[in-house]
Amino acid sequence: MGDVDGLTGSEVPPTAIDAFRFDGPPIGIRRLSGGHIHGNFLVTCSGGRYVLQRLNDRVFPDVGIVLSNVERVVAHLAAGGRRYPSLVETQVGGLSHREADASVWRSFHYLEGTVGRAALRGTADAFGAARAFADYVLALADLPGPPLVETIERFHGLHHRLAALDAVAAADPVGRRSGVRRQLARAGRVGQEVVEALPTGGGALPVRTVHNDAKLSNVRFDAQTGSATCVVDFDTTMAGHVHYDVGELVRTATTHAPEDARDEAEVDFDLEMLDALASGYFAARPQLERSEADTLALAGPLMAAENAVRFLTDHLEGDRYFAVDRPSQNLDRCRTQLRLTELMLASHADAAACFDRAARLSPAGGPPPVGPTEDRP
């Protein structure tokens, strides 16, 4: 094929497009914004639209594991009659394609009639997004076969992320430490406070198969009705705690500031949105244990603090992990997440009241029943 929209010659090799069984010749390609990890492109062919991804093998060292986990998740969601993004076969009947330069490509059918949201439009969006993520965990509770393989080792875990930050600050590989002393101290202080409030190791919290990247932007909403139709991006779906999902959603959906706002004063913490998120989550009857339900108000601070620490670590490492399009973007991301953590901690009592109310009013009624969990620490 020829150079479509001027992109195929550079970012998307024509052979990567030709490798997939797309319906009709490609008539347009454009880069999709939003994700920090993979290269994401929208390929428009005469007979349909597709999301084509170049997988990031620095972040996911074994892309084969990612591919097979995702295939299992997609097959299980399909068997349960749920809406999900389906994979496109390659010309040779596989579900991924390796280029001569060793890059690995994968494609999904574009979920027509749906839209993503960078920010919530209102409480109904919050309710629907939270219910969709709770429903995802319920759907995977009876995934047949062995547990999904860990795609990124020790992906979440604030304690270990803080240790990694200390190590990179000590090594200071690109000489940025002197410019971030205040944020380093602040991240250490805020991170420690959250680790002490919600220790996630030690077996106190059940381990389930969770999404692990439950950002608002990973929810698709029906373009007509506005209701949340499904969640996407299953690459980090594996063992974890429900707090990782609730926390990602809370940190991305309760503030009106972009994650990389240059001025952290823009960051707010909207308790009305939190209330709707909590109601939506429990509306799915998530069958949480007491230890989970009672600590959900700390999920937002946990994930905001963890992301702050990861962004600062990457800034000190020279922006090797998260894609950036300007020099201090990871530092800005770190500041917004620290600010958000501080605001959330200051409103902890109100946040806890939101989750308590939602748990009491959940359709199951009464205290959340004990649900199926795995027996691992």
Q: Which residues here bind ligand GN1, judged by CB under 6 A?
A: 35-37, 59, 213, 215, 233, 236, 259, 307
What are 266's two structure tokens?
Answer: 């823009």
Q: Which is nearer to Mg ion, 213 or 245 (CB)?
A: 213
**Residue (135 or 213) nearer to ligand GN1, CB:** 213
Task: Give me the least distance between CB of 24 and ligand GN1, in Å please.
Answer: 29
C-alpha gyration radius of the chain: 21
Choose from ligand GN1, Mg ion, none: what does 215 bind? Cβ within 5-8 Å by kind: ligand GN1
The DSSP annotation for 128-174 comes to HHHHHHHHHHHHHTT--SSPPPPSSTT-S-HHHHHHHHHHHHHH-TT
Q: Smallest distance from the beta carbon of 183 to ligand GN1, in angstroms?
A: 17
User: Which of 307/313 has CB closer to ligand GN1?
Assistant: 307
Work out what residue 59 binds among Mg ion, ligand GN1, none; the CB cut-off runs from 5 to 8 Å by kind.
Answer: ligand GN1
Query: Are the CB atoms for 248 and 213 separated by under 8 Å?
Result: yes
Q: Which is nearer to Mg ion, 14 or 157 (CB)?
A: 157
Binding mask 192-231 for Mg ion (x = CB under 5 A): ---------------------x------------------
The binder of Mg ion chosen from 233, 245, 319, 332 (CB under 5 A): 233
Distance in Å, CB of 139 to ligand GN1, minimum: 20
Q: How many CA atoms lie within 13 A of 370 on its CB side?
A: 4
Q: Which residues pair with 45 in a beta bridge?
A: 26, 48
d(CA 23, CA 209): 34
Residue 165 interaction partner, one of ligand GN1, Mg ion, none, beta carbon < 5-8 Å per kind = none
Tokens encoding 274: 């939190």
Closest approach, Cβ 46 to Mg ion, in A, equals 30
As given in the structure block, the two tokens for residue 181 are 């002393």
Q: Which residue is nearest to Mg ion (CB)?
A: 213
Nearer to Mg ion, 53 or 347 (CB): 53
Choose between 233 and 314: whose C-beta lies nearer to Mg ion.
Answer: 233
Q: Which residue has the tokens 């503030």?
A: 255
Query: What's the CA gap between 156 and 263, in Å, rounded?
Result: 27
Residue 189 Cβ, how far from Mg ion at the closest point, in Å? 28
State how far the Cα of 134 lies from the Cα of 117, in Å rounded to an integer: 18
Choice between 279 and 313, CB closer to ligand GN1 = 313
Which has the closest alpha carbon to 132: 301, 250, 283, 275? 283
Query: 18 vs 21, 43, 54, 111, 147, CA distance in Å?
Result: 8, 11, 14, 21, 34
Cα 228–Cα 230–Cα 234 angle in degrees, nearest 5? 140
Rounded to a whole number of angstroms, the minimum distance from the CB of residue 106 to ligand GN1 is 14
Q: Are strands 39-45 and 26-31 parallel, antiparallel or unpaired?
A: antiparallel
Check binding of 248 to Mg ion (CB under 5 A).
Answer: no
**Residue nearest ligand GN1 by beta-carbon distance:** 36
CB of 236 to Mg ion, least distance (A): 6
Q: Which residue has the tokens 């002393």?
A: 181
CB of residue 156 to ligand GN1, shortest distance in Å: 8
3-state secondary structure of 223: coil
Contacts with Mg ion, residue ranges (CB under 5 A):
213, 233
